[in-house]
Chain A
Amino acid sequence: MNRKENFIAGFVKENPVFGLYLGLCSALAISTTLDNAIGMGLCVTLILTASNMIISAIRKITPDEIRIPVYIVVIASLVSAVEMLMAAFMPQLYANLGVFISLIVVNCIILGRAEAFASKNGILDSALDGIGMGLGYTFSLLLISFVREFLATASWTITNPFNNQVILHVGLSFLEPFKISMFSTSTGAFLTFACFAALFAVLKNKPAKKEKKEAK
Chain B
Amino acid sequence: MNNAIYAAVFALIMGGLYAALYYLNHRTPVPKGCENLKEECSGCSISSCANHPSQSKIIEGE
Contacts and interface: CB of A to CB of B under 8 A. Distances in A.
A21 B46 CA distance: 9
B59 interface: yes
Interface of B: 15, 18-19, 22-23, 26, 44-48, 50, 54, 58-59, 61-62
B26 to A, nearest CB: 7
Given A73-B15, A115-B54, A65 B23 contact: yes
A61 interface: no
A30 to B, nearest CB: 20
Contacts, number: 41
Given A64-B61, A65-B26, A112 B46 contact: yes
Given A115-B54, A116-B54, A65 B47 contact: no
Interface residues of A, number: 17
Contact of B61 (A65, A71, A111, A115): A65
B48 A65 contact: no
A108 B48 contact: yes
B54 A69 contact: no
Q: Which of A65, A68, A73, A108 has most B Cβ within 10 Å?
A: A65
Given A112-B47, A116-B47, A66 B54 contact: no
A20 B48 CA distance: 13
Contact of A66 (B22, B45, B62): B22
Interface in A36-70: 64-69
Nearest to A77: B11
Given A22-B46, A73-B15, 9 more contacts: A20-B45, A64-B61, A65-B62, A66-B23, A69-B19, A108-B48, A114-B48, A115-B48, A116-B54
A68 B46 CA distance: 13
Nearest to A16: B45
A21 B44 CA distance: 8
A214 B33 CA distance: 47
11 contacts: A20-B45, A21-B44, A64-B61, A65-B58, A65-B61, A66-B23, A73-B18, A111-B48, A112-B46, A114-B48, A116-B54
A22 B23 contact: no
A114 B54 CA distance: 13
Contacts of B22: 65-66, 68-69
